[in-house]
Structure 1
Amino acid sequence: MSGVWDVKRDDERDHWVLDPLVSVGPLRFGMSPDEVMAALHAGPGSCSRGSLGVVVLSYRRLTAYFRAECLYCVAIDALVGPQVTVDGTTLVGRVPSEVEQWVWDYVDRHDAELRYSPGADPHLVDLGLVVRAQRAGDVALTRPLFLGERVDDVWHYVPIEEWRGF
């Protein structure tokens, strides 16, 4: 029996790689909702209209956000989503402080630009990566967001629906 807070082990997850600002796993930024569902080998998903005309496609493992029918933001579910690797490091379903330390180390190694959202989420601008947290029972685990372009003001770029969740 599976519980609502059960977290998949890494060996139970699909494994994806980030190509910054281009793709995350099989999802290329700019895809249509139908192309995303086909890439995920999934049947019809749950699409809804979000704020400011954003289309939200919620699939068990992730949430995809579209503007003008083009994929521009992907949030990976911390509990059951695919594991995404960046620069040799896994980012999904991890302790947030460990990933934040990786972020700081990445900044030092690559002289990368680091910003924080108003909610204190680390944002590696050049990777299009925002490290958020998601509740998993009594703990929080990383729920990374991947963006399709370099963004200075992540708070207004990411749909408000994403900021509401924890």
Structure 2
Amino acid sequence: MWPDPWAVVDECDRVQWDYSPLERVGPLRFGMSVHEATAAMEAYGFTSDTASDIGTFGPFRHLRTRSRAADTPFHRNAVTAYYVGPMGLTCIAVDALSGPQVTFDGIRLVGRPPSELSAELTAYLERTGRDIEITTEGDIGSQQLGMNPRAQRAGDVLLTRLVFGRPNDWACTMHDCVPADEWHVH
């Protein structure tokens, strides 16, 4: 029997991470090399695939690694990390179905109905005097916080998949930090 492709990890079974804007997501720090990020994921019980080349844009080579909990099937990627040449880790995507729960200032970010996260994130942004931005997919996001919530399908429902990035010399905006591969995940 095939495993349910839409199975969602229960909240109590998710690894718990926190987010420091533009600095780190759990054990992953922006700027890490592939080797450093893979070692950090292994320390948290995740196994990572070999870095795959996703193309060269301008002078920079772009790489991707996918990590999953060690005891889960190979197709259940929990975290996708993207690297750009000498800048290292520039973008981190946390899967809505099987990724860690990432919390920022008391807000649970992953695996929630998009409307709930949008309401909570909007209230936070208003309360802290930050800009409220609408992402290219119509969700509430924040350049200042380096986060781009996306809707990911889980059977007949949508849940939040979080994409974190740090703009740099190569990508001036949060949207530019996100590789084209990531926009194809639904």
Q: Which TM-score applies when normalising by structure 2?
A: 0.82
Rounded to whole Å, the distance in 2 between the matches of 1:21 and 1:144 is 14
Stretches (4+) displaced over 6 A: none
Structure 1 contact 114–125 (Cα < 8 Å) conserved:
no
Q: Structure 1 residues 44, 14: closer, same or farther in 2, change over 3 A?
A: closer
Structure 1 contact 132–144 (Cα < 8 Å) conserved:
yes
In the alignment, what sits opposite 2:73? none
Q: Structure 1 residues 44, 147: closer, same or farther in 2, change over 3 A?
A: closer
In the alignment, what sits opposite 1:159? 179
Which has the higher mean CA deviation after the structures are superposed, 89-98 or 109-118?
Answer: 109-118
Rounded to whole Å, the distance in 2 between the matches of 1:54 and 1:38 is 19
Rounded to whole Å, the distance in 2 between the matches of 1:83 and 1:149 is 23
Classify the secondary structure of the residue corresponding to 2:118. helix
In the alignment, what sits opposite 1:33? 34
Amino acid of the residue matched to residue 80 of structure 2? T
The structure having more radius of gyration, on CA atoms, is: 2
Shift of 1:122: 2.2
* 1:50 aligns to 2:85 (yes or no): no
Correspondence 1:65-144 to 2 at 5 A = 65-68=82-85, 70-144=88-162
Structure 1 contact 103–124 (Cα < 8 Å) conserved:
no
Which has the higher mean CA deviation after the structures are superposed, 68-77 or 115-124?
Answer: 115-124
Which has the higher mean CA deviation after the structures are superposed, 150-159 or 71-80?
Answer: 150-159
In the alignment, what sits opposite 2:25? 24
Q: Which TM-score applies when normalising by structure 1?
A: 0.91
Which has the higher mean CA deviation after the structures are superposed, 103-112 or 93-102?
Answer: 103-112
In the alignment, what sits opposite 1:8? 9
Q: Structure 1 residues 138, 46: closer, same or farther in 2, change over 3 A?
A: farther
Give the number of aligned pairs. Answer: 166
